[in-house]
Amino acid sequence: MLPKLCSMLNPMLVAGALFCVLMSARADGLQDNIPENVRRIPELGVPVPDDRAASMRTTLGQLQEKIAAIKAANDATKTALLPDVMIFERAVRCALDYNEFFDVKEFDKADALLAEGAKRADQLIAGKPEWITQKGLVVRGYISRIDQTVQPYGMVIPQTYAIDHSVPTRCDIWFHGRGEKLSEVNFLWDRMKNPGEFTPDHTIMLHPYGRYCNAFKFAGEVDVLEALEDVQKRYRIDEDRISVRGFSMGGAACWQFATHYADRWFAANPGAGFSETPQFLKVFQKEELKPTPWEQKLWNLYDCDKWALNLTHCPTIAYSGENDSQKQAADVMEKALAGLNPPIHLRHVIGAGMGHRYDRVSKELISGSLQSLATQGRKLIPDDISFSTRTLKYNTMCWITVNGLREHWTEATIHADFVPAEWGPNPEGGLGGKGANVQVKPPAIRLTLKNVADLTINMLPVDVPAALRSDLKTIEVLVSDERGDSRKHASLKIPGLLSDGSVVARIAYSEHKWQSLDPSVGTSLAKRHNLQGPIDDAFMDSFVFVRPTGTAANEAVGMWAEAELARAIEHWRRHFRGDARVVNDTDVTDELIQSANLVLWGDPKSNSVMAKIADKLPIHWTAEKITVGDKTYDSANHAPILIHPNPLNLNRYVVLNSSFTFRDYAYLNNARQVPMLPDWAVIDLSTPPNSVWPGKVVAADFFDEQWQLKP
């Protein structure tokens, strides 16, 4: 999407030219606004000569034999390091299998990667893995919980990092720019050769792959979190000194992580990119948008200007080139922050005369500011909390967790602070004598809420302010709840300090009033964190495609589901760089039901798992009709798509007939890569699937907060 990224890299670095190759000059032009004529992403690669392919396959096979031998040895220590070897095998294998060598120069890169993989495998077999203590540029890998594939990441380990000491180290996460040819081969090669735009002193730089070219959304978002978790296991990372940074597409990712996980970082440093979908596509892509009502709501998932309030808790320094059209991203956020009450004034560093790149003066200014913020570190105990969300997917800020909303995709806000105790003379005498200064009103937690139905207060001992550290058996919570045009007020008592000095309490609006509840008590079927939809959410955790072994009741449905399943398998690998696990419906085990989201293909006649749950879903599907509330659709040429808690395991999803919901047209611009369908839809199969939709969408909506159809 952002072809000028190559200009920002150090020309002295040989690998810097890579990104110029990766950026297609065709990207982002008006020709990418034609859904009927969508170019393939990634494009097919160049042919590999037969002799070169045979040689590469032979070396690949040798590496695979070594990996198999390490697995067979069943040594837990060696197995834990095996992903660091597997990344090289997978990178070259996928490039060969899927025609993803985009330049003849990449053949040599593949040979070098296989050699590095073999070297690491030999070291691991010998019990002497040298790369785990390597300084400078290092590539490593982990096994993703999403699909059990190995995923790579790169690091820059400073020379000052001491393997044998216990001092935690600052970590900056750097999000890369758009690269339509950023295969695993090219990513690993670049991360082994190119230190990147910034290399702060005494700082580990983490470069996540993000599963290719999706602006670090969905599985790309999970990749960042999983890569960071893996790094934290292997290196001593200071949790209070982790930042998020990036440029171009990486700048968009930085805005996303800063606003959605604001309390995790000591700072954010987004450069260029985009910060939301509709305005950016109009300005940058010159696209005429005609969204459906559910699309407009779903833009709120990643439109960062709607989440600007959360930057209260994340110091942010934005960068833009003065003449860069992608300055629009920071301009949008600047306006959103200025509109808050009280306003936040964005620090926006602008490179004089710069286009889509950094200038030296700005880089020095940004680096100095981040170093100052790193010295200070993340603020663990804010005096007050300001939090905004529109979905329970992102439901935590500091010591507040939102368990339930009144309505998803409508703004919910929480402002929380502490009311100090009131002191006055003691009219009754007693200890200290009459008139002595005593506490006449205990301290309290004050909550101002909007669109929140259920929340938990969870303060670790270090989070509890001095005002609440007392012998009080209870703590008062003052609730001011905005409900429509009115505001309701309540005063509740919650348990005081627990034996370890923490505070844990849950309050919810129930039976027309706010009440204190037992935090351990579960609730009935309701939307909750990681079980709130929409359909795309199922693919941010472990999932399995369940293939039907029977014959569909209607031929059109069977053919459509078969084609969509084949497409889903292909595009999961092509766009999210993984291998979707696929099992037959007859092979679904209890363990699989417990451990994974089940994506069921076919209909209740062809898929035995779907048959087991068909009468337990809000939308009913028989051989004759699909019933959605008081409306029906002919099953001969219609099929439902939906997400719902699995009736066989309410802690996991079940999905009918859908993978991630954006399609080929969205690949052309990262700002388009947002959910295209809500919680459910009915598809008219007489209209063939295209680059935008799986067929004609004749009905679609969200389920309510109890996972039922809306009236």
Contact between residue 417 and residue 449 where contact means Cβ atoms under 8 Å apart = no
Based on its alpha-carbon atoms, the radius of gyration of the chain, rounded to whole angstroms, reads 27
Residue 508: per-residue pLDDT: 95
Q: Where does the pLDDT of residue 474 fall: very low under 50, low under 70, confident under 90, or very high at 90 and above? A: confident
The model's pTM is: 0.94
Residue 20: per-residue pLDDT: 35
Q: Could you give the domains of the chain?
A: 3-34+134-376 (3.40.50.1820), 40-132 (no CATH), 396-423+436-517 (no CATH), 535-701 (3.30.379)
Task: Give the pLDDT mean for 549-573.
Answer: 98
Does position 696 have pLDDT exceeding 90, yes or no?
yes
Question: How many Å from the N-terminal Cα to the C-terminal Cα in the chain?
Answer: 41
- CA proximity to 4, closest of 276, 283, 326: 326
d(CA 30, CA 25): 12
Residue 429: per-residue pLDDT: 55
Q: Is the peptide bond before 534 cis (omega within 30 degrees of 0)?
A: yes
Does position 413 have pLDDT exceeding 60, yes or no?
yes
d(CA 320, CA 252): 12
pLDDT in tens, 221-251: 999 999 999 999 999 999 999 999 999 999 9
Question: What backbone torsions phi and psi does residue 594 show, to the nearest 5 degrees?
Answer: -80, -30
Q: Where does the pLDDT of residue 28 fall: very low under 50, low under 70, confident under 90, or very high at 90 and above? A: low
| For the chain, percent of residues with pLDDT exceeding 90 | 85
Q: Where does the pLDDT of residue 379 fall: very low under 50, low under 70, confident under 90, or very high at 90 and above? A: confident
Q: Where does the pLDDT of residue 523 fall: very low under 50, low under 70, confident under 90, or very high at 90 and above? A: low
Bridge partners (DSSP) of residue 444 are 419, 476
Bridge partners (DSSP) of residue 509 are 514
**Range from 19-28, 102-111, 615-624 carrying the lowest mean pLDDT:** 19-28
Task: Give the pLDDT mean for 169-188.
Answer: 98
Q: Where does the pLDDT of residue 427 fall: very low under 50, low under 70, confident under 90, or very high at 90 and above? A: low
Residue 380: per-residue pLDDT: 82
**Range from 19-28, 57-66, 377-386, 449-458 carrying the lowest mean pLDDT:** 19-28
Exposed / middle / buried, residue 278 (Cβ in 10 Å: 0-12, 13-18, 19+): middle
Task: Please provide the average confidence, as pLDDT, over all residues in the chain.
Answer: 93
CA 480 to the chain's CA centroid: 32
Contact between residue 419 and residue 432 where contact means Cβ atoms under 8 Å apart = no
Element (H, E) at 388: strand 384-389
Residue 271: per-residue pLDDT: 98
Residue 53: per-residue pLDDT: 98
Q: Where does the pLDDT of residue 163 fall: very low under 50, low under 70, confident under 90, or very high at 90 and above? A: confident
Does position 433 have pLDDT exceeding 70, yes or no?
no
